[in-house]
Amino acid sequence: MSKINSIGILTSGGDAPGMNAAIRAVTRAGIFAGFRVFGIFRGYKGLILDEIEEFSTQNVSNIIQRGGTILKTARCKEFTTPEGRQCAYDVMKRRGIDALVVIGGDGSLTGARIFGNEFSLPIIGLPGTIDNDLYGTDSTIGYDTALNTIMECVDKIRDTATSHERLFFVEVMGRDAGFLALNGALASGAEAAIIPEISMQVDQLGELIGHGFRKSKNSSIVLVAESPVTGGAMGLAQRVKEEYPDYDVRVTILGHLQRGGSPTAFDRILASRMGAAAIDALLDDQRNVMIGIRNDEIVYVPFTKAIKNEKRVNPQKLEVLRRLSI
């Protein structure tokens, strides 16, 4: 393996609170290790278009507390083509960038894996996504902040739900993963969580109504993962109106509120540890691995496992939620 003298950092896909803390950590740990560090703006698109700037420690001062990403992020169809990746590689060679640190979710790390294999590049991934759906890590950067945002929003919604004795469906993000919905329901004291992992097996709405889950309540809140598998909050509300017309139903879709805001202490610490670990991985001649955290210990997870293996929700949490909703 050739010696690494300089590294590039980019953020890709959906933004997540804590990405800036990760950028800061990679930059400063990289400079500490003797690397030149380049910030690549707008993800893979910026790599292709050569939107690159050399970073010093001052470039990442006063950003640990900021949400979003100072490097910006963008979708890039060109990078899904061999021609686009060849262009990105040519830019790296022209700039003298020997390795990449990619901060993003499964789509971003999939692109990193393909790119790294095609050109034999050392690439390290950091799991930056609020969905917490990457295998091999207990938590992803941004997940804890999004979870706290959901909890705070549901606390406010409950005031209205209780005042009007209504059933509220609150839709949260997560795509095909129910981690935000399930843990958000536990944290906010919601009556139930409807998640894609279970919707594929049973009719969760039918079970909830059938078990009379409102008998002892004057209001109810149900968190719903946005996945098409669950039908989403709007779809479930329509079902209730048609099948259970006695219920007064309202819907709140939290949307991009969950992506924003200052990262929690947990996410700042996690991003800082993972960013420093990315530099350690490069110094250790690692490539095509994602930095993860398991039982509070840093681990290296091959891209293939992080992307392809399914991360499962904890069934014990579902049981706790069911028992506490009486």
79 & 99 share domain = yes
Together in a domain, 29 and 65 = yes
175 plus 219 within the same structural domain: yes
Tens of pLDDT, residue by residue over 78-113, are 999 999 999 999 999 999 999 999 999 999 999 999
pTM comes to 0.94
Token reading at 293: 């955290």
CATH of the domain at 150: 3.40.50.460
pLDDT 10s digits, 263-318:
999 999 999 999 999 999 999 999 999 999 999 999 999 999 999 999 999 989 98
Verify that 286 and 158 share a domain, yes or no: no
Mean pLDDT of the chain: 92
Q: Do 21 and 137 share a structural domain? A: yes
Coil, strand or helix at 8:
strand
Total number of domains constituting the chain: 2
Is the same domain home to 133 and 275? yes
What is the pLDDT averaged over residues 193-206? 74
Q: Note down the domain range covering 296.
A: 6-142+263-308
Catalytic choice (15, 98, 106, 131): 131
In a shared domain, residues 105 and 158? no
pLDDT at 164: 77
Q: For residues 100 and 52, state if they share a domain.
A: yes
Q: Which residues contact 228 (CB under 8 A, 6 or more apart)?
A: none
Regarding whether 206 and 279 lie in a shared domain, the answer is no
Q: Identify whether 131 is a catalytic site residue.
A: yes
Residues 109-155 have pLDDT tens digits of 999 999 999 999 999 999 999 999 999 999 999 999 999 999 999 99
Return the closest-CA partner of residue 287 out of 301, 305, 308, 274: 301
- Pair (86, 13) in one structural domain: yes
